[in-house]
Amino acid sequence: MSDDLKIYYPQTISDTPFPQEKVSDSSISQASSGGVYEPQTTKAKEFPRKRIAVETIGSALNTKSRKILAEFEFTESGSIKIGKYEAGISGDIRITPNGITARDKTGLTTFSLDGDTGDAVFKGTIQTGALIAGIVTVGNNNVIIDGENQRIIINDGEYDRVLIGYQKDGF
């Protein structure tokens, strides 16, 4: 043999698992019987299952148009807080299953809507084009506008002093 003869040996390449694939013991075998060689075989490997993320945000919120696209439901203790209350700087609004409240930068509640009773309390002026109400009470029950009975009563705290409208058995 000549010194120019080069001998090549096969390169061994180890199996590399897919990302997040469980590495299992795989047996590589090469069968030979009577000098007949077969290709190496490897145990069948399963490909990882395709994982599809549920796009809750994509199907319920459009972040580009900043719109809510689907209904959301609060848990019993769930709520939405808008803004961050910082004394003297900013107020906040809270929406809960029990109602809606807002407070100003001084910490005072400026309005509240009670989800259980239906009561509404406003600190400021209420302005409207029309108001439909059965009875409107002004002040400490001193002035009552009673639409159902078609009358206005002004009371001094002890007696009804002014009556505009009808009073059964009245004066």
**DSSP one-letter string for 74-87:** --TT--EEES--BT
Higher per-residue confidence, 113 vs 53: 113
Please give the pLDDT value at position 114. Answer: 93
Phi, psi values for residue 164, rounded to 5°: -115, 120
Domain extents in the chain: 74-122, 135-165
DSSP label of 47: P
Please give the pLDDT value at position 112. Answer: 95
Residue-wise pLDDT for 80-94, tens only, equals 889 999 999 999 999
pLDDT > 70 fraction of the chain, expressed in percent and rounded: 77
Please give the pLDDT value at position 80. Answer: 87
Alpha-carbon span 7 to 171, nearest angstrom: 129
Please give the pLDDT value at position 25. Answer: 52
